[in-house]
Structure formats: C-alpha cells, structure tokens
Structure 1
Amino acid sequence: MHTDRRTNSTPRFASGGLLAALRRLDRYSPQELSRVSQDYAFRAALAEECRSLTARGYEDGDHEARAQVHAALAFIHDHDYSAVAVEEVDREFQPVLRDVAALLEGAVLDHELSRIAKGAVTGYPDSGSAYVRWLKAMVSDHPAGWHPLYQEHLPESGEWEDLRLLTQETSLDPRFDDILALMRWAGRGGEKLEIAANYWDEMGNGNPAMVHTSLFDQALEAVGADAAYVRDTLMPEAIVSGNISACLALSRRHYYKAVGYFGVTEYLAPRRFRRVVDAWRRHDLDEVGIVYHDLHIGVDTGHAAGWFKNVVGPLVSGDPRTGREIALGAMIRFNTSQDYLDALLARMRCRPRRDVAAIAVS
C-alpha cells in the first residue's frame, strides 16, 4: 500500500530543501557534526525528508523533486570523490552522508531497474565466452549503441560549439580513474589484474603528462569550457549519468552491475570518440585538445576486449548468476546514455548557429 510521504515531512528542512540542509551541515564544526551523528531523531527526520523527496520525484513524477534528488547526490558524490583538506580531518560527515545516499541511490536505481524489461536480462548463456557474444549483441541491438549524435550529427553537421557541449562528459571522465580504483577492491584474481591494468593506463603508465584526467582538462581548455561554462550548461541527464556511475563504483554490492555498466562504457567509447576526433580535425582545432579522445580510440578498444575476456567472461563462467547483474548494469548504461545523448542532440539541433570567429571571442 502506497504511503504519501509528503504528509510526514518535517518543517526542519523546509528552508531550501535537502541540498541546503546538507550544505549547512557541511559548514559544521567537528563537534557539531559529532552531535548531529548521535542525534538519531534528527537523522530519522532527515531520512524522512529523503523518502518524501524521492516519492515526489519517482512516484508522483515531479521533475523538480527528481532534480533535487540528483543535486543532493551530486553534492555527496563530490565529497566521496574529493581529496580531504587537512583542516577537515576531524570532521566526520560520513554517517549523515551515507544515510542520505543510501535512500536516494536506492530510489534512483529502483527507477532505472524498473525501465528494464525482464526478458532483456534473462535467457543468457552460462559460459563466459558465449555470454560475452550475447552481451555484445545487446550493444548492437540498443539504440544507444549507434546513437545518431555520433553516427550522423557530428560527421554531417557538427560544429565547433557542439564539441564544446560534449564537455557534459565531466560527469564521468574526470573521475574514471577513481572508479577503477574503487572497483579493484571487489575484484579478485585475473579480473582484479585487468582492472588494475586499466587503472594504470588512466595514470598515463606513470607519465604525469599522460595522466588521462590531465589530458581531459586539456580538451576542456582547448574548447574554452571553463568551470563556469560546464556548470551553466550541464544537463540533468548528464548529472543522472554521473550519479549512477559514482554510486555503482562506491558500493561493493553493486560490483557486478558496475562490471556491465563500465564494460559497455569502454566498448562504446572508441566508436564515439572517433567521431569526435574527426569533427575536431575538420574544424582545424588545436591538436593538443584532442589527445584525450584520440588516445582512447585505441586504448579503450584494448580495454573493452580485456574487460570482456578477463572480467565478464570469468565471472559468468564462475557463477552464472552474475550474468543477470552484469546485464542489468549494461542496460542501465544503455538507457541513461540514450537519455543523455537524446537530450544533448536536441540541444545541439536547436542551438542558434554561429560562426567560429564569433564563438572564439564569446
């Protein structure tokens, strides 16, 4: 029986909502945070605010409430994936953040799982090699596998500003090395070694100039995508993708879903990035800015092959039950990627066309 969570919401969080409450807590002293962590009445009220917000967003279809869910999650994930400042070493914020994250992430993933047809993740082979072929066929069958943004728009009519809009990828690419590091905790044997090799590539194989996050920053700089531009243009669909990527890697119980999710990410990257590189060079932009994408055409081809052979295949052969979880993760990636690319392509197509000179001085 459905309970209307809105009737139980507390006025304690009325001022600015959940995100504002988290930001206020983030300014608390170590002593204040310790008191809050031990105030279970407060934490219960905070949990009820989360339930009310997710009910409005995902049961009632309130898009603003859903946006607030993801804004709060993005705030939490920024904490989770950021280095701690030395003056914050005594501030224990995690108990409260984990309370909130568990409720919000649960609602988000339940929604994504509800979008997947049962038949899409059943009837798969129980041998690793056959499963890999089955999973690759899923890529070919899903619209996100060959999205028109990459297959048609960029090659045929993509402009300089369209490449700038692709900085939406800041929701995933800059923290992919940390995601791989987190996934290594749950992996074993050969799968752990494969993820480690992938991580070492992200680290530029020990060359600081070739660390992938640094190369991505060069791409942003080359198209004039500073922090303000990224903040002002970031779409809700990109934030959703970033939050799901973050939460799948952070929780060990989602490891098998993460294997499918990021395996598909690696598999799709080369074909997509090739289109980006072609469009970049067609507009004769600075080559230093395309090193990141150009490098990943070859690197991710190898990563995808290794991921399927040394991670996906052995997991399914070892325990066929993991095949369903891996397929669920892959489908979540397909669906959220399609949402994001559909929205991004719509923005590209409706954007007023300007010449390169005008853009360069804007």
Structure 2
Amino acid sequence: MSHTSLLSSLTRAEDRDDWHALNTDLDFRKEVVLACRELVDTAYGQGDELALWNLHDILARIYDDDFGPPGVDRADKETQPIHRDIAAVLEKAVLERELADITDDEVSSYPEDPDAYVTWLKARIGDHGSRRHPLYREYLRNEAGVEEFRFFLAQESNLDPRFDDILALMQLGVSGQQKLELAANYWDEMGNGDPADVHTAMFARALRTVGADDAYIAKNQLLETRISGNLSACLALSRRHYLKAVGFMGVTEYMVPIRFRDFVDGWRRAGLPEDGVRYHELHIGIDAQHASGWFKNVVKPLIRDDPRSGREIATGALIRLNSSLRYLDAVLAHLRTATERPN
C-alpha cells in the first residue's frame, strides 16, 4: 500500500463485516503501518507539505470519529484496531516534531515546591512570543473587518467546539481537587445547566454571525490550524498524555482573557452584532478564574504528589506555546497577504 492511498483506506470499510475482515487481516494491517511510516518519512524526513497535509487529514478524520456522536449505525463498527494502528505511528511523529523544539533545560530546571513551580511556569508563559501576539494585539483589535473575523473564527474551530469534551475526558481516573476543578470548568462549559449558555452553542452563534459554515471552514482552514487541533485531541484522548494535557490546556486557559479582550474590542470596532461576541466576552472573566483554579487545584496537587510531574506539565505547556506561535504567525501572514491582494 502506498501512503497516497492510506487516506482512502479509512473509508474503505462500510459495515460491520467489512471492518471485522480488515481488523483480522494482519497482512493488511501491516501494510497500513508501513504506509504510515512512509508517510511520516515523506512529510517530516523529506519536508513534503502535501504529505504533511495528508498526515494531519488522516489524524483529523480519526479524531472526528473519536469525538463523533454515538448512534445505532456505529454500534457494530469496530474501527478502533486499525485507527489506533494508524494513530500510534502518526502521533509519535507529530509529538517528536514538537519535542524537537523543546530543550531539556526548558522542562527540567523547575522548582519542586508547588507554589514556586506555578510562579516558574507562569513566567515561562509570560515570556513566550505567543503570549501577546500581534494577531490579537494589533490586527484583530485595530484592523480586521468581517471577512477577516470570518476567516479567523474558522481557524479557531480547531479547538473551541471540542473543549467541553476534552474537559470531560480529562476527568477520567482523577480525584480530589483535580476532579472538582475540572468538573467546575466543565459545568461552566455546559452553561451551568442553561442550554442557551452552553459554550459550544455560543461559539456556533459567533460562527453563524460571520457566515463561517461547515463548508467555509473545511475550505479555508490552514495547515497549522489542523496541526493545532490535532495536538489538542492527541493529548486529551490518551491517558498517558494526561500531564502534558494539563500543561497544554492550562496555557490555553491562562492566555484566553488577554487575547479575547483584544478580540472583543476589534469585533465592536468593526460594528459586528453583539450576539456574536458573547462567547468571547464571557470567557474574559470566566477563564481568568479557571486559569487561577487550574494552577491552584490541578497543577499544584500534581507537583505536591510527585514533583516529577513538573517535567511533563512543562512539556505540554511548551507544546501549546510553540504550536500556538506557529499557528498565530500563519493566520496573521495569511490575513496580511489576503489584505494586500488587488481586488
């Protein structure tokens, strides 16, 4: 099997018997793994951008299945053996790419006292180039119009519509302060029981306000957007990555208030409808509280229980910071280029 035919193999099986036949065909599964390795080599070893797109399209399709709604039609389709064969190879390559940008000193030179660790981690976040990025501080705040906000929100759909499910997954197997903090965060995502205030519903209203429907999103998402979304799914779905996910999502919560303040100011400057900005305005205050609770009730207990957790948490934080910087750079470059094109 060529790596170019790997994507089509994901849709090859239609029913229970098809999937059973593929799952029990060990020669086929070996071909799939070899094709994945070839794809990894082409994408990362040879720097082929089309192969990188294919790699992340395949992962995104698997994650769409993982996060997809349940139903009778899925009840007897056992997709996991082959999906996990593929994801194991591709995820390893994606994470190795991220880890290559992180030095040992960045994740090992941390204090083991919980309070000092949080201070150290916040300083790392504050000093990073993605903390106060010009996409937010300058472009969205002062320049963007409706077309630019439409494009930007299409990119942001890589994480926001799944954040509640990610929080639900992160609660598995944890207890005490961690579980309560994650649960409180999740309940806020659920609008504290009011269907109209569920955060995914509010984000969907923001998308509708600027006309970013599913077809527009699928057509306009950038490669770095796809990578960013796949990273969050990868870390959330695997329990072995829980500590990295704590760092990754903690950074996300910590950076939201200042970023969304710029977004809201730009939205109103552009004269866009108030109903569409409610999601972002609400998160300015809520995520400031959640970030504080995350560091106090999730990060600190982990460091207190086992200081070795600090390395994994810091690694997840830096994966988020570095991938966010690439993502924001790519979005800003695209918007600047699009603005400069002649009509």
Under a length normalisation based on structure 2, what TM-score does the superposition of the two structures give?
Answer: 0.97
Give the structure 1 partner of residue 52 of structure 2: 66
**Secondary structure in 1 matching 2:131:** helix
**Secondary structure in 2 matching 1:23:** coil
1:146 aligns with 2:129: no
1:104 aligns with 2:90: yes
Whole-Å Cα distance in 2 between the matches of residues 141 and 249 of structure 1? 26
Gaps of 5+ in 2: none
CA contact (8 A) 1:257 1:328 kept: yes
Give the structure 2 partner of residue 3 of structure 1: none
Give the structure 2 partner of residue 290 of structure 1: 277
Whole-Å Cα distance in 2 between the matches of residues 353 and 55 of structure 1? 36
Measure how far apart 1:352 and its partner are: 3.1
CA contact (8 A) 2:111 2:117 kept: yes
Give the structure 2 partner of residue 9 of structure 1: none
**Secondary structure in 1 matching 2:41:** helix
Give the structure 2 partner of residue 23 of structure 1: 11
1:326 aligns with 2:313: yes
Change (3 A) 1:307 1:262: same
1:117 aligns with 2:98: no
1:132 aligns with 2:118: yes
Q: Which of 236, 239, 243 is the equivalent residue of 2:226? A: 239
**Secondary structure in 2 matching 1:352:** helix
Whole-Å Cα distance in 1 between the matches of residues 2 and 9 of structure 2? 6
Instruction: Name the aligned partner's letter for residue 250 of structure 1.
Output: L
1:37 aligns with 2:23: yes
Measure how far apart 1:157 and its partner are: 2.0
Q: 1:178-257, aligned counterparts within 5 Å?
A: 178-257=165-244
Whole-Å Cα distance in 1 between the matches of residues 49 and 222 of structure 2? 13
**Secondary structure in 1 matching 2:130:** helix
**Secondary structure in 2 matching 1:185:** coil
Give the structure 2 partner of residue 262 of structure 1: 249
Whole-Å Cα distance in 2 between the matches of residues 63 and 101 of structure 1? 19
Coordinate RMSD, CA, aligned: 1.4
**Secondary structure in 2 matching 1:351:** helix
Whole-Å Cα distance in 1 between the matches of residues 171 and 67 of structure 2? 15
CA offsets, 1:124-164, max 9 Å, x none? Answer: 01011111110100111110111111112222322222211
1:162 aligns with 2:148: yes
Whole-Å Cα distance in 2 between the matches of residues 87 and 252 of structure 1? 27
Give the structure 2 partner of residue 53 of structure 1: 39
Measure how far apart 1:353 and its partner are: 6.7
Measure how far apart 1:64 and its partner are: 1.6
CA contact (8 A) 2:187 2:193 kept: yes
Whole-Å Cα distance in 2 between the matches of residues 332 and 126 of structure 1? 21
CA contact (8 A) 2:141 2:267 kept: no
CA contact (8 A) 1:163 1:276 kept: no
1:307 aligns with 2:297: no
* More divergent stretch after superposition (136-145 vs 157-166): 157-166
Whole-Å Cα distance in 2 between the matches of residues 161 and 24 of structure 1? 38
Whole-Å Cα distance in 1 between the matches of residues 85 and 298 of structure 2? 31
Gaps of 5+ in 1: 1-11
Matched positions, count = 341
Instruction: Name the aligned partner's letter for residue 337 of structure 1.
Output: S
Measure how far apart 1:104 and its partner are: 0.6
Instruction: Name the aligned partner's letter for residue 315 of structure 1.
Output: L
Whole-Å Cα distance in 2 between the matches of residues 19 and 300 of structure 1? 37
Under a length normalisation based on structure 1, what TM-score does the superposition of the two structures give?
Answer: 0.92
CA contact (8 A) 2:114 2:304 kept: yes
CA contact (8 A) 2:143 2:266 kept: no
Instruction: Name the aligned partner's letter for residue 134 of structure 1.
Output: W
Whole-Å Cα distance in 1 between the matches of residues 329 and 340 of structure 2? 19
Q: Which of 247, 256, 259 is the equivalent residue of 1:272? A: 259
Measure how far apart 1:84 and its partner are: 2.3
